[in-house]
A and B are shown apart, each in its own frame.
Chain A
């Protein structure tokens, strides 16, 4: 099935790992990043974001994809603060995803450098730097490879401030960036989204942007934040998501969700790439039902400590909620959101349907099976009117 000959001579024969849509597919068509309203396609759209400071809103924008926005944020941070350092595996030449392009040439080998191939070393080193007042940005090449550093993050970075007490030292200057999520053919070790594992750790902040504009603002906020931040970058968006991004430095608030679309009948909570899937499904479902269905879409942005109030307010209004994420359903972010909704007395009494989770199966992400694993438009679309009871 995978033989290249078959693919080459039979163009109708779909490669098993491709994300191309089947001819005739009505729901699972590729996300059109060029037209999605989740991205700011014009300068006005970018500068019109209410969260941006006035000075930024009267400035200029530049078209960037997500890796360029990450690069822009890091260049800003390195430029404005001498204590910012950037390191990880293969970042000196620009990084395997191009996020650190040109930064070593601009800021020097002392501040932008390769480390030996050792995740626990990278984070242990970063913690030591941060403990002595620096603001290190450590890169883990894939989120799948953060586990050797789990001890350093969980037992050291997260608890550093707490155990130091009135001594007052902390490693809040530390930001850990890592690409995450499915990319069509990443299989077991180039697809994972372990955000819920870190959301279980008091002391860490866990952030995942959905777009270039967000990536820049949230990453700068993470770097300036005095708590250690684990920053997940959906790698499928590195090149795919392109939008106008303000050229001036700016931050977006951590622990604040964003309502992307107002609605009355159902709240969808998600973050990262699945937001695009959710929006496609919402549009399809709303089109199918005409004016009878309107769905609210919320981007969590910060996964922990999360903006519970924003979600609860929305669900008090709509009475129904679906949480969508790529990573496994068991003990995932959806479990925390659903539990919080049902245990809030004011929200529980307004619930008109069980809170539902649409997420990855409780399996690893096998190479050939990603399309059956990660929630897609076909999974979501029929569920929406059903849950909304429309």
Chain B
């Protein structure tokens, strides 16, 4: 059964106008009543879409009736995921500063938005990310070895040493590999969701699943955002669009990014169920995402938009000094007053299942594990040089074979000009 409004639209477009109708019968819009009063709709006459919150800055449930759907151990697991990411961020940011990796991007301030939403998905759900979603990978079970192998581009990096650091991907975890062009993954998620829908129609025994896609508020200005939401709506795709609205895209503040009511207000324009949540509140993002997933699976599948309001505490990347465009005090305030990690910690402490000692011990343990993985990954060989040519096509083309041979001959001729020792198999992989 198509959704009721769709059925109406189909009818409307095939109907000619009835005489003296109060409603338009133009095919472009339905149920629009005629008015003789000229009135332009003005955005500022509408109040901003409210922000859903479950626990406040002090970690106290806003609605005392709130009932957590996870055991304390379950929440502690998510808390540890958030801690892991925030500790890894500090270590790897410094590692970049020391020149040990080429690039890094922290996700501080956005740990809850990622870990919380990911925790409401099933392992079968297909995920597309932008690049500031380490929490999603961590929550799903991406190992520290996998993180470090990618960051150091060693021979265990599943990307084969081809991608910049932080461009993670995992088939095992159903997370597509990150690419740098912004917004391109948003229509991919719509297509993946349609694939899921068709595959379930063809095999009703397949488990119900959705696609989820993450992007920042800056990426939402790309044409691909518009294309994706529109096609997902018209094809009724089971997909949840998750916007991390952290106030900045590199140096550009949200005020220079758009003039509407954030990203959430656009969802309605595409005919989409939409919600805005407090992205620093793990419980809010988890609860909203759980519901969004249910909605996405209703009526044979439909898209949902979820906007997580948050704040980018870190620099945009290791190539950015954000104090060039925003005050240090602003960042410090956010860090101190409304931090998703400390907010959840307060909740846990109030529940009596967390304390300073556990916090200290856990942080030390995580740090140790990260440094171990760091050390191991840094020592590993790089992937074979052959990876330069492999994977462009399913099979090597004659051109690529010839070019590989050319490179081999070049390296044979100028061994002193290139260090091939760090690559697995040296130059011998080029044949």
Contact = CB atoms under 8 A, between A and B. Distances in A.
> Counting chain B CB atoms within 10 Å of each CB, which of A85, A120, A159, A170 scores highest?
A120
B126 A132 contact: yes
A261 interface: no
A133 B399 CA distance: 28
Contacts of B398: 305, 308-309
A361 interface: no
Nearest to A155: B181
A51 interface: no
Interface string B372-395: 000000000000000100011110
Interface of B: 126, 128, 157-160, 162-163, 167, 169-171, 176-177, 179, 181, 184, 186-196, 198-199, 201-202, 211, 223-224, 226-228, 230-231, 234-235, 387, 391-394, 397-399
A316 interface: no
Interface string A129-170: 111111010000000000010011001100101111111111
> Counting chain B CB atoms within 10 Å of each CB, which of A122, A162, A166, A170 scores highest?
A162
A151 B231 contact: no
A125 B177 contact: no
B163 A163 contact: yes
A280 to B, nearest CB: 33
Given A111-B198, A151-B184, A156-B188, A163 B170 contact: no
Nearest to A162: B391
Given A120-B227, A127-B191, 11 more contacts: A116-B234, A118-B231, A124-B184, A125-B188, A128-B189, A129-B194, A164-B177, A167-B169, A169-B176, A202-B392, A203-B393
B171 A226 contact: no
Contacts of A125: 187-188, 190-191, 194, 227-228, 231, 235
Interface in A104-120: 110-111, 113, 115-116, 118, 120
Given A161-B394, A164-B177, A167-B177, A131 B158 contact: no
A133 B191 contact: no
B181 A162 contact: no
A85 B176 contact: no
A249 interface: no
B14 to A, nearest CB: 14
A344 to B, nearest CB: 10
A: interface residue count bin:
35 or more
Contacts of A82: 202
Contacts of B176: 131, 164, 169
Contacts of A130: 191
B160 A161 contact: no
A66 B199 CA distance: 32
Contacts of B394: 161, 170, 172, 226-227
Nearest to A305: B397
Contacts of B230: 116, 118, 121
Nearest to B394: A226
A132 B126 CA distance: 9
Given A121-B227, A125-B194, A131 B397 contact: no
B97 to A, nearest CB: 26
A167 B158 contact: yes
Given A134-B195, A155-B179, A164 B190 contact: no
Given A115-B234, A132-B195, A165-B157, A124 B188 contact: yes
A110 B198 contact: yes
A118 B226 contact: yes
Nearest to B232: A125
A126 interface: yes
Nearest to B186: A124
Interface string A34-64: 0000000000000000000000000000000
Nearest to B128: A128
B157 A124 contact: no
Contact of B191 (A129, A202, A203, A305): A129
B393 A227 contact: yes
Contacts of B189: 128
A14 to B, nearest CB: 42
A164 B159 contact: yes
